[in-house]
Structure 1
Amino acid sequence: MYTFLGRFIPSIRKSLIQMVPDGIPNPKLVVYVTGWLEFIIAISVFIPKLNYIFSVVGIILCFMLFPGNIKAHARNISFGSKAPTNIYLRACIQILFIVSFIIIFKHA
């Protein structure tokens, strides 16, 4: 939910749009669509019949979004008004999300 809610904070939304890898059309739309996917994934945790499907979607989304983290690191893109997050911390957070989705998947 935290990452979804960030889409409503203009400075964070601007940073997320800048993070979209070059060559992907309409970065603003990508940010909104991925945000709504994150929202649906967060809600699905409370709906047992959807846990299986959206844990897989969550894992795929983590892999799809990581190039944006690499771009943010390479171009020193801040996250809102905060200094850019270290790429190793970003990778650890992504791994934590993936492990969480795997746990949800196995218990679904």
Structure 2
Amino acid sequence: MAPLIALVTGFVVARLTGLLGIEALDSWQPALRVGLAVMFVVTASAHFVPGLRANLVAMVPPGLPRPELLVTVTGVLELAGAVGLLIPATAPWAAIALALLMVLMFPANVSAARRKVPFGKRPATPLVPRTAEQIFFIALAVAAALQ
């Protein structure tokens, strides 16, 4: 739920800022990129906060090597993508890269749902809502890549 809240809040604040005269945010797409950047900063931070990091490590499918390293790498990639979304010249490429990253990380979501891995104090998210959320985020990243 936190990623969705971050996304919506970032989008709304950016869009309102654009409506108040900030030309760089004068349409939905730049505001969407800001919202996605905020969301990815929030999700990336979980990769480095000790308690949340342990939950993400537990989500990694058992057959993959070095889950701690995979969590670190994906967190760094999410942060790099968030920065890339805020730079007009790199924003489309960053959005596509983040969409691909979400596709590549989806097996971890499936694995976590099937193994009922909780996140923090919340119980595991079932596969159907988790899948719907990922499809939504991927679709928004693709929309952010359009010129």
* Structures share fold, TM-score greater than 0.5: yes
CA RMSD for the aligned pairs?
A: 1.2
Q: Superposed, which structure 2 residues align to 1:1-108 within 5 Å?
A: 1-107=41-147
Q: With structure 2 as the length reference, what TM-score do the two structures score?
A: 0.68
Percent sequence identity is 33
The CA deviation at 1:9 is 2.4
* CA shift digits 1:27-47 (9 cap, x unpaired): 000000001111111121210
Q: Which runs of 5+ in 1 are unaligned?
A: none
Q: Report the Cα distance in structure 2 between the residues aligned to 1:63 and 1:6, rounded to whole angstroms.
A: 19
Alpha-carbon contact 2:61-2:112 (below 8 Å) kept: no
Q: Report the Cα distance in structure 1 between the residues aligned to 2:56 and 2:76, rounded to whole angstroms.
A: 14
Runs of 4+ deviating beyond 2 Å: none
SS across alignment from 1:102? helix
Relative CO higher for 1 or 2, CA cutoff 8 Å, sep ≥ 6?
A: 1
Greater Rg by CA: 2
Q: Which runs of 5+ in 2 are unaligned?
A: 1-40
Q: With structure 1 as the length reference, what TM-score do the two structures score?
A: 0.91
Count, aligned residues: 107
